[in-house]
């Protein structure tokens, strides 16, 4: 599939090098800080489950109690396992309950007590990581048994009723109708909750809460569908927002297959503090790497707020940064669902050729990544007939440029949350295009020096220029000054900043230690 655009390998290498240079200071920052959500994820791996009668998870109560006594900068693992030894408690959830009741005091131990606490914490967290490993092996077995989808791109469909018990039959119906990947959209605003809700949920706003129990229920239902259909149906949720590391952990524990996980989305679109985001990002990506979860990045979002022609290069820049951060966290190319979208105004002359150029550029820059191709939303006007036509052209670009994951576009985008019939019509559209032109990428070679090649070269050139500008000032400054998607996000502002701490000299995180070793 490579070589259709005649890209200059030296320029591509330079783009990657610039992305590395822009990203490295952020990685250093992430390695020297922790967050309440990272520490809660550690405790989840160590076996803390459940919530108090008000629905606040025990991991939150426990982290809050530790922070109140010794602060966040040492990491919570050592104080927690030290307290377990002193209190003679063997169940870490029980300790959380006692701590919430105020009957446990935490200290940062030294010498022998510290060594013992580290050992105990490491043992408990290793058990959680082993559970993630078992889940990954289970996926491998099931994929082998049921098989992968027969075609590329994989067909990705969204369900979002707010009620997990309503979502399940809808997801199973969607799988039967041809969906290879089911995404359960989260309730609006969940990304700004600083805790993960508990249990099966039946109410949400424009989506269904992501909870461990909802993950489990949906995965079990899709396992049933996989058996019935003879192909492994994948499940997707969101590792984003303030609880990103915990979401990644729960996804690993419940064998989700893909997670939306972008390096900058939370900063730009949710006004989450940049440092909080980058710290949470790195940990969540390490978990995804261990769990074999494909991440989906959010570049499509840039184009919903900025112009898809003028700002096409910001997508490329973000893809390169996402790739750098992902590789650094241990994700292989096969797990990089880098995002991009069909969002050029259809009134722009040659808009389809421009879309082809951009999509092919992403394909050639990241030949081994299962690129996630996102449908038009911004120029869906409510004219459902025109919308269906646009979606058809979107599907055509998807197959002509060998995209990995195709999010099915709905002609009722911007009108209603998809109806049963909308989904059926949309899938019919995809099936027609893949059936009629599924092999067209073999014949489609843009003319040398022609419109598509020139456009791709220009976007890559602009991306390199932007990366050079970022390199001169640093990524955090660029974000603060509104380089991406117009929003200005300074590093000392934004939501969740009070849950960030710089590592103390004796910071200890058994999960990071284990995740940074090679899997055994």
Partner 1 sequence: MSEKKIVRPYGDTTGDGMVQVSFTLPVPHDKRAEGAAVQLANKMGMDPAMLVHAKPIGDGFTFFVVYGRVNHLVDLDQVQVVERDFPLLSAKEVNTVVKQRMRRKLSVVGACIGTDAHTVGIDAILNVKGIAGEKGLEYYRELKVTNMGAQVSVPELVEAARQEKADAVLVSQVVTQRDAHLHNTREMSAAFREAMPAGKRPLLIVGGPRFDETMTAELGVDRIFGRGTTPGEVASYLVHALITARRASS
Which residues are catalytic, by number? 265, 300, 372
Residue 416 CB burial class (10 angstroms; 0-12, 13-18, ≥19): exposed
Output the smallest distance, CB 33 to partner 1, in A: 24
- Look at strands 500-502 and 33-35 and give their pairing: antiparallel
Nearest to 184 by CA among 193, 192, 175, 176: 175
Query: In the complex with partner 1, which residue's Cβ is closer, 279 or 306?
Result: 306
Output the smallest distance, CB 266 to partner 1, in A: 11
Only segment of 4-12, 52-60, 266-274, 359-367 that touches partner 1 (CB under 8 A): 266-274
Please state, in angstroms and rounded to a whole number, the distance separating the CA atoms of residues 289 and 195: 23
Question: What is the end-to-end Cα distance of the chain in Å, rounded?
Answer: 34
Fill in the DSSP letter of residue 369.
S
Tell me: does residue 271 bind partner 1 (CB under 8 A).
Answer: yes
* Greatest C-alpha distance within the chain: 74
Output the smallest distance, CB 177 to partner 1, in A: 7
Q: Say which residue the tokens 């006594």 belong to.
A: 69
Only segment of 55-63, 136-144, 302-310, 437-445 that touches partner 1 (CB under 8 A): 302-310
Among 414, 435, 442, 449, binds partner 1 (CB under 8 A): 414
Q: Is the separation of the CB atoms in 208 and 162 below 8 Å? A: yes
Q: For residue 112, give every residue at least 6 positions away whose Cβ sits within 8 Å of its Cβ, in sequence order, or none.
A: none
Tell me: does residue 432 bind partner 1 (CB under 8 A).
Answer: no
Only segment of 95-103, 126-134, 170-178, 395-403 that touches partner 1 (CB under 8 A): 170-178
Q: Is the separation of the CB atoms in 286 and 509 below 8 Å? A: no
Among 250, 306, 408, 426, binds partner 1 (CB under 8 A): 306
Number of H helices, E strands in the chain: 20, 11
Query: In the complex with partner 1, which residue's Cβ is closer, 170 or 399?
Result: 170
Among 93, 305, 454, 474, binds partner 1 (CB under 8 A): 305
Q: Is the separation of the CB atoms in 465 and 322 below 8 Å? A: no
Please state, in angstroms and rounded to a whole number, the distance separating the CA atoms of residues 245 and 149: 29
Among 12, 89, 107, 177, binds partner 1 (CB under 8 A): 177
Query: In the complex with partner 1, which residue's Cβ is closer, 25 or 205?
Result: 205
What binding mask, one character per residue, do residues 362-381 give for partner 1 by CB under 8 A, x or -? ----------------x---
Output the smallest distance, CB 240 to partner 1, in A: 11
Among 93, 304, 454, 474, binds partner 1 (CB under 8 A): 304
Among 223, 307, 468, 504, binds partner 1 (CB under 8 A): 307
Among 382, 439, 449, 450, binds partner 1 (CB under 8 A): 382
Output the smallest distance, CB 32 to partner 1, in A: 29
Tell me: does residue 176 bind partner 1 (CB under 8 A).
Answer: yes
# of chain residues touching partner 1 (CB under 8 A): 27
Query: In the complex with partner 1, which residue's Cβ is closer, 270 or 340?
Result: 270
Tell me: does residue 309 bind partner 1 (CB under 8 A).
Answer: no
- Report the sign of the C-alpha dihedral through residues 451, 454, 460, 463, in that order: negative
Output the smallest distance, CB 244 to partner 1, in A: 16
Structure tokens of 8? 């200059």
Output the smallest distance, CB 258 to partner 1, in A: 21
Residue 9 Cα distances to 352, 513, 516, angstroms: 26, 36, 31
- What sections of 297-410 are H helices per DSSP? 300-305, 312-328, 351-365, 384-400
Among 61, 122, 219, 270, binds partner 1 (CB under 8 A): 270
Site for partner 1 in 190-229 (CB under 8 A): 191-192, 205-206
Output the smallest distance, CB 305 to partner 1, in A: 6
Only segment of 133-141, 264-272, 360-368, 506-514 that touches partner 1 (CB under 8 A): 264-272
Please state, in angstroms and rounded to a whole number, the distance separating the CA atoms of residues 262 and 278: 10
Distance of CA 57 to the CA centre of its chain: 23
Only segment of 223-231, 303-311, 318-326, 499-507 that touches partner 1 (CB under 8 A): 303-311
Q: Is the separation of the CB atoms in 275 and 24 below 8 Å? A: no
Tell me: does residue 127 bind partner 1 (CB under 8 A).
Answer: no
Tell me: does residue 435 bind partner 1 (CB under 8 A).
Answer: no
Only segment of 69-77, 80-88, 97-105, 419-427 that touches partner 1 (CB under 8 A): 419-427
Q: Which strands sit side by side in the sheet containing 372-374, from one edge to the other?
A: 336-337, 294-296, 258-260, 234-238, 181-184, 154-159, 405-407, 372-374, 339-341
Residue 284 Cα distances to 37, 355, 415, 450, angstroms: 10, 32, 34, 42
Q: Is the separation of the CB atoms in 463 and 15 below 8 Å? A: yes
Residues that bind partner 1 (CB under 8 A): 162, 173, 176-177, 188-189, 191-192, 205-206, 269-271, 304-307, 378, 382, 414, 419-421, 424-425, 486-487
């Amino acid at each position: 599939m490579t070589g259709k655009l005649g890209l200059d390998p030296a320029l591509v290498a330079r783009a990657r090098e610039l992305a590395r240079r822009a990203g490295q200071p952020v990685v250093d920052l992430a390695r020297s800080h922790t967050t309440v959500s990272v520490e809660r994820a550690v405790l989840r791996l160590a076996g803390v489950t459940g919530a108090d009668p008000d629905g606040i998870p025990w991991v939150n109560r426990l982290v809050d109690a530790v922070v109140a006594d010794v602060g966040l900068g040492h990491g919570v693992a050592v104080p927690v396992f030290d307290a377990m030894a002193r209190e003679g408690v063997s169940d870490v959830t029980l300790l959380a309950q006692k701590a919430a009741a105020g009957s446990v005091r935490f200290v940062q131990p030294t010498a022998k007590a510290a060594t013992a606490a580290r050992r105990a914490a490491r043992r408990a967290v290793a058990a959680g990581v082993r559970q993630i490993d078992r889940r990954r092996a289970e996926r491998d077995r099931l994929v082998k048994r049921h098989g992968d989808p027969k075609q590329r791109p994989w067909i990705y469909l969204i369900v979002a009723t707010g009620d997990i018990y309503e979502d399940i039959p809808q997801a199973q119906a969607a799988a039967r109708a041809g969906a290879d990947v089911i995404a359960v959209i989260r309730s609006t605003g969940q990304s700004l909750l600083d805790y993960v809700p508990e249990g099966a949920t039946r109410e949400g706003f424009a989506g269904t809460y992501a909870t461990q129990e909802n993950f489990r229920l949906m995965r079990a239902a899709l396992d049933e569908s996989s058996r019935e259909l003879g192909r492994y149906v994948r499940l997707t949720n969101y590792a984003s927002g303030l609880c990103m590391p915990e979401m990644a952990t729960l996804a690993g524990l419940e064998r989700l297959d893909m997670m939306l996980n972008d390096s900058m989305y939370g900063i730009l679109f949710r006004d989450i503090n940049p440092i909080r985001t980058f710290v949470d990002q790195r940990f969540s990506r390490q978990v995804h790497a261990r769990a074999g979860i494909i991440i989906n990045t959010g570049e499509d979002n840039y184009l919903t707020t900025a112009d898809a022609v003028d700002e096409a290069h910001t997508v490329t820049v973000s893809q390169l940064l996402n790739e750098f951060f992902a590789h650094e966290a241990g994700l292989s190319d096969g797990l990089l669902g880098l995002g991009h979208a069909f969002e050029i105004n259809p009134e722009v002359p040659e808009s389809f050729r421009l879309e082809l150029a951009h999509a092919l550029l992403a394909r050639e820059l990241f030949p081994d990544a299962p690129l996630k191709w996102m449908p038009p939303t911004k120029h869906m006007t409510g004219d459902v007939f025109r919308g269906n036509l646009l979606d058809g052209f979107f599907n055509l670009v998807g197959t002509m440029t060998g995209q990995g994951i195709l999010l099915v576009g709905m002609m009722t985008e911007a009108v209603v949350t998809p109806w049963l019939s909308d989904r059926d019509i949309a899938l019919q559209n995809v099936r027609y295009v893949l059936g009629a032109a599924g092999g067209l990428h073999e014949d489609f070679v843009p003319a040398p020096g022609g419109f598509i090649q020139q456009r791709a070269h220009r976007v890559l050139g602009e991306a390199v220029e932007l990366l050079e500008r970022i390199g001169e000032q640093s990524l955090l400054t660029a974000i603060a000054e509104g380089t991406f998607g117009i929003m200005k996000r300074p590093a000392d502002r934004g939501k969740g900043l009070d849950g960030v701490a710089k590592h103390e000299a004796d910071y200890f995180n058994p999960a990071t230690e284990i995740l940074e070793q090679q899997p055994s």
